[in-house]
Amino acid sequence: MFGLFGLKQSWMITYWWSVHGGIYRSPTLAKSQNNQFNVNVLPASGDTQSFTAVSLGNSYAEKKWNCWCNLLEVRTSDMDSKWGVVSAYGGEPPEGW
């Protein structure tokens, strides 16, 4: 069993640019191994270890659906540390497409 606690904050720099940051903590509340049906398969949700994650990102949006978003995340636990970078663009399809 696990719990997830987090805090995220966004700041509008200009009408088009915004930045955001977050911190997340997931402590293990009970031994996950006791609740697994098959110990050879990872759980479908949650995690078997506690972790802390910090993220920073920015977004640029001109129109309703045209947006370019970037995110950097660092995750640490007792067993390992991970980091990730995500960049995504979303746009509205042209009329008649």
DSSP string over the chain: -B--EEEEEEEESSSSEEEEEEEEEE-B-S-GGGG-S-TTS--SSS-SS-EEEEEEEEEEESSSS-EEEEEEEEEEESS-EEEEEEEEEE-PPPTT-
The per-residue pLDDT for range 43-81, each reduced to its tens digit, is 665 556 788 999 999 999 987 778 999 999 999 988 889
Give the pLDDT band (50/70/90) at residue 85: very high
Q: Which amino acid appears at position 91 of this protein?
A: G
Is residue 39 one of the residues assigned to a domain?
no
Return the pLDDT at 88. 95
| pTM value > 0.75 | no
Is residue 13 one of the residues assigned to a domain?
yes
Residue 30 clears pLDDT 70, i.e. is over it: no
The per-residue pLDDT for range 1-28, each reduced to its tens digit, is 456 789 999 999 999 999 999 999 888 7
How many domains does the chain divide into? 1
Boundaries of domain holding 73:
5-31+48-90
Is residue 64 one of the residues assigned to a domain?
yes
Contact 51, 26 (CB under 8 A): yes
Is residue 20 one of the residues assigned to a domain?
yes
Is residue 36 one of the residues assigned to a domain?
no
